[in-house]
Chains A and B, each alone.
Chain A
Amino acid sequence: MAPANTHQAKTQFGYRRHPDQDRPGQSPAEHPVVIVGAGPVGLSLAIDLAQRGQRVVLLDDADRIGEGSRAICFSKRSLEYWDRLGVADRMVDKGVVWSVGRIFHGESQLYQFNLLPEDGHKRPAFINLQQYYAEAYLVDRIGDLPGIDLRWRNKVTALEQRNDSAVLTIETPEGAYRLHAQYVVACDGARSSLRQMVGAEFAGQVFEDQFLIADVKMTAEFPTERWFWFDPPFHAGRSALLHRQPDDVWRIDLQLNRYADPVVEKKPENVRPRIARMLGHDKFEFEWISLYKFQCRRMDRFIHGRVIFAGDSAHQVSPFGARGANSGLEDAENLSWKLDRVLRGTSPASLLESYHVERSMAADENIRESTRSTDFMAPNSHQEARLRKAVLSLAKETEFGKRMVNGGRLSVPCSYDTPLSSRDADDWRGGPSPGCSMLDAPVAGQGYLTDAFRQGGTDFTLLSFSNGAVLEAPDGVRDIRIGGEGGLADPSGLVAKRYDAEPGAAYLLRPDGYVAARFRHPTREAIASALSRAAGLN
């Protein structure tokens, strides 16, 4: 259905002819990177690469930002990434900040959870923001960066792989042209045409149960929390979700049975009574209605010759857990610095293989988590339903039962078991181990550790805890010093605590904020060796 869009004006873009289209067919223009698909993943990747000094061509087959709220939950990790891309403030200002979720069974609350129960983090656990706002802000940011050439109504229709490049055929309103790219990044979504062009399978599981999404506009006083029901009185025997978005829009997600007729169920006159039963009134307008089946699928390999897949084109998960858009943004963050180094020649092309290794590991984790949530919501057999019933009833009186109730496990950054990490040689009782994402904490003057990380640029960083002795970072590695003369003060002690660090310790952070190595007593040689491993030079 066509939603009542109030946002169309700022999301419509025009096709413009580019001089590349005037070149003769046998000598197409050459570009280092062509990104296909201007969704959240493609847009973020383009900004990241451009900030690293790369020239990027970004193609999209439409001339507008897609309709419908679609992805709405953006994670702390994604916000920290968008901070580095210069867009997080705008997202957070517009978005609805939340960290608390409640799970209900029937009429009563089973339990509530807080995804970020501690202070001292710059960004909240999550914001809710309609995907069209996120995309619009990213497109605005692209306007600040001369390195990005965003071409609307440019549809890739053919791909030719060569040894050291790929040639794309692109259809436009004024006919076709070709582009020569050293690397193509396919961010063209779950129905990726690039994936079909490389002939890759997209194997996995399609779940039979159907879910109805309705975004409704209404004024309501529900708190800004994620509410999830098993077997609610207004929707007996199935699950339901209610979650706030900006502009008085509320996401409602209702489980339907597997035999429901999508055409019938999507009709507003049929959706309205369902929602009215839930809300107890019918004073709301529809923003967007969609019906879908869960799918959990991934490509076997995320890299095919010179084409690299990121986001939904490479992996698809069910939506309860906010693992779709957020994992796509993690793909972009993981790929960007590696592709930049390879294009500069500071790392060998084999570094890109670690993108496949790390992000396919993350995809497996996301698929595993979201499959478990889906199976819990829609049991596959009588016995599975029986076990779920036992969990729900035990949850009323036991803590372990509450923790087994699975109404969606929300996205957190994956830990990588990766050849880029150097194993711990010392004893650590806490802190992020190699392969884990860095943790935020407040620092004096700078605001937060993630600010200090962002402000110094986007290369490898040595985070060290001063003991008075001088620890020099290797060439090309940035320094963040905690404590000591000229270092950042840690007045709350939270940096040292969260990193389990005593004076003298140091962490080597990758450009994507992951820990490459850590040392209780760092030496120049140990740091250099870890750096070389993390840059794929070994």
Chain B
Amino acid sequence: MALSTSSNFARPDDAFRAIVEAHRGLTEEQSADFDAALVLILANHIGDIDVLREAIGLAKRRMIDGQQQQQQQQ
């Protein structure tokens, strides 16, 4: 496991808040553009393809879990 999932920010609320605030006042379209740029900037900063792939896998599991929940509800 190359991806760190332990809490790395001394003040995690600040980090979350910074991202939330960056989206304030943006349209849906602008928000999506903003996210795309932010993802690319952070991915390059990490600079490790294995970490990136693990992060993608972790994020993608939300989609799969979401689908399964939907199916169970149906």
Name the interface size band of chain A. 10 to 19
Is A391 engaged at the interface, CB distance under 8 Å to the other chain? yes
Q: Is the interface of A mostly helix, strand, loop or mixed?
A: helix
CB pair B44 A400 closer than 8 Å: yes
Supply 19 A–B pairs (Cβ within 8 Å), ascending by A. Answer: A383-B32, A383-B36, A386-B32, A386-B33, A387-B36, A387-B40, A389-B33, A389-B36, A390-B36, A390-B37, A390-B40, A391-B40, A393-B37, A394-B37, A394-B41, A398-B41, A398-B44, A401-B40, A404-B40
B30 to chain A, nearest CB (A): 11
Nearest-CB residue, chain A, relative to B36: A390
New A-B pairs, 8, CB < 8 Å, besides A387-B36, A390-B37, A390-B40 = A383-B32, A386-B32, A386-B33, A390-B33, A393-B37, A398-B41, A398-B44, A404-B40
Residue numbers in A under 8 Å from B36 (CB-CB): 383, 386-387, 389-390
| Residues of A bordering B, CB below 8 Å | 383, 386-387, 389-391, 393-394, 398, 400-401, 404
Which of chain A's residues have a CB closer than 8 A to the CB of B44? 398, 400
Question: B25-42 vs A: 1/0 string, CB under 8 Å?
Answer: 000000011001101110
Question: Which applies to chain B's interface (DSSP): helix, strand, loop or mixed?
Answer: helix
Residues of chain B contacted by A400 (CB below 8 angstroms) = 40, 44
| Alpha-carbon separation in the docked complex, A394 to B39 (Å) | 12
Complex contacts, A387 vs chain B, CB 8 Å: 36, 40
A401 and B37 alpha carbons, distance in the complex (Å): 10
How far is it, in angstroms, between the C-alpha of A391 and the C-alpha of B36 when the chains are bound?
9
Complex CA–CA separation, A394 to B37 (angstroms): 7
Complex CA gap A387/B41 in Å reads 11
Q: Closest residue to A382 on the B side, CB-wise?
A: B32
Q: How far is the CB of A530 from chain B (nearest CB, A)?
A: 32
Q: In the complex, A383→B31 CA distance in Å?
A: 12
- A263 CB to closest chain B CB (Å) equals 37
CB distance from A83 to the nearest CB of B (A): 37
Q: Which of chain A's residues has its CB closest to B47's CB?
A: A400
Closest chain B CB from A105 CB (angstroms): 15
- 9 nearest A-B pairs in the assembled complex, by CB-CB distance: A390-B36, A390-B37, A400-B44, A386-B36, A387-B36, A390-B40, A386-B32, A386-B33, A394-B37
List chain A residues, Cβ under 8 A from B41: 394, 398
Nearest-CB residue, chain A, relative to B33: A386
Tell me which residues across on chain B come within 8 A of A398, comparing CB atoms.
41, 44
Residues in chain B near residue A383, CB distance under 8 A: 32, 36
Chain B CB count within 10 A is highest, among A389, A390, A391, for A390
CB distance from B69 to the nearest CB of A (A): 23
CB closest chain-B residue, reference A403: B44
Across the interface, which residues of A come within 8 angstroms of B40, CB to CB?
387, 390-391, 394, 400-401, 404
Taking the nearest CB of chain A, how far is it from the CB of B63, in angstroms?
13
Assembled-state Cα–Cα distance A391/B37 (Å): 7
Min distance, Cβ B45 to any Cβ of chain A, angstroms: 9
Which residues of B lie under 8 Å from residue A393 when comparing CB positions? 37
Q: How far is the CA of A390 from the CA of B37 in the complex (A)?
A: 5
Considering only CB atoms, which chain A residue lies closest to B38 in the complex?
A390
Find the A residue at minimum CB distance from B29.
A386
Would you give the shortest CB distance from A164 to chain B, in whole angstroms? 47
Give Cα A423–Cα B32 distance, bound, in whole angstroms: 48
Instruction: Give the residues in chain A near B39, CB-CB below 8 Å.
Output: 390
Distance, CA A400 to CA B45, complexed state (A): 9
Closest chain B residue, CB of each to CB of A399: B44
- Chain A residues with CB below 8 A from B37, complex form: 390, 393-394
Whole-angstrom distance between the alpha carbons of A51 and B30 in the complex?
63
Residues of A within 8 A of B33 (CB): 386, 389-390
**A residues less than 8 Å from B32 (CB atoms):** 383, 386
- How many Å lie between the Cα of A387 and that of B38 in the bound state? 10
> Could you tell me the distance in whole angstroms from the C-beta of A400 to the nearest C-beta in chain B?
4
Interface positions of B from 33 to 66, Cβ below 8 Å from A: 33, 36-37, 39-41, 44
